Amino acid sequence: MERVSLVFGGSILAPAQLDPDFLTRVADSLTTWAKDRQLFVVVGGGAPARGHIQAARAAGVAEELLDRIGIAATRLNAQTLACILRKRGADVNLEIPHSTAQAIRFAQQHTIVVMGGSNPGHSTDHVAVELAVEAGCDRFVNATNVAGVYTRDPAKHKDAQFKPKLTFEELLGIIEERAWTAAGAPGVMDGPATVLLAKNAVPTCVVDGRDLANLGKAITGQAFQGTRIEGPKVKL
């Protein structure tokens, strides 16, 4: 059976005001896509992660502890989505895994496995890439809040150019930093996740996760609007 690893940016699933109608539509879409494939769904931290990290940072908490707060937020969002999926009748785990190895074990029992963050030092993008590599997924889909990969952050730079197609080598040239920068750091894909992706050359789709019809095309392997990343492995 086909396997797909999906990361859902927290800014879409968990904005400051959660939208139960959108979450229900996401759950129903995931259920449909999982009819003939195994889905790993990794949920980002969104507004709760940013809010709590900011407050702790302002209170003087050391940077190396802030990731823990982010992980807790991603797990809260993952638990919320898992419960809504179960309510909508999906075959999904209710216990949120603490590691990708545990998530892969859960996949023996459930067609949809939902998780959040795992360890400090990276974002949920990295967790989903790890799952894609370790579970031998056919593709990795990054559902984000922009149309795909741009040469620069389109929210900040008017001259940012959209890239419909990239190699892993080209993607490495676009990201600003290969190392982990800071808890809650923005950007279409974090550095450690990009490095892992490029080393393993998992076929990748970056799409706007708010458009569920288009996201479905990426997940089911059809032509989609967004960025397709493929090509040879990069030696790093």
Give the residues lining the site for ligand UTP (CB under 6 A).
9-11, 44-46, 49, 66-67, 70-71, 74, 117-120, 122-124, 127, 183-186
| Tokens representing residue 25 in the block | 């539509």
Spatial distance between the Cα atoms of 138 and 133, rounded to a whole number of angstroms: 9
Spatial distance between the Cα atoms of 194 and 102, rounded to a whole number of angstroms: 23
Nearer residue to ligand UTP within complex by CB, 38 or 130: 130
Nearer residue to ligand UTP within complex by CB, 92 or 143: 143
Least separation in angstroms between residue 48's CB and ligand UTP is 9
Least separation in angstroms between residue 89's CB and ligand UTP is 26
Nearer residue to ligand UTP within complex by CB, 50 or 110: 50
Burial class from Cβ neighbours inside 10 Å (0-12, 13-18, 19+) for residue 51 reads middle
| Tokens representing residue 65 in the block | 């502890």
Residue 215: CB atoms within 10 A of its CB come to 26
Least separation in angstroms between residue 41's CB and ligand UTP is 12
Nearer residue to ligand UTP within complex by CB, 93 or 118: 118
Least separation in angstroms between residue 235's CB and ligand UTP is 25
| Tokens representing residue 186 in the block | 């923005």
In the chain, DSSP assigns E strands to 2-8, 37-43, 112-115, 139-144, 149-150, 162-163, 165-166, 204-208, 227-229
Least separation in angstroms between residue 36's CB and ligand UTP is 27
Nearer residue to ligand UTP within complex by CB, 112 or 206: 206
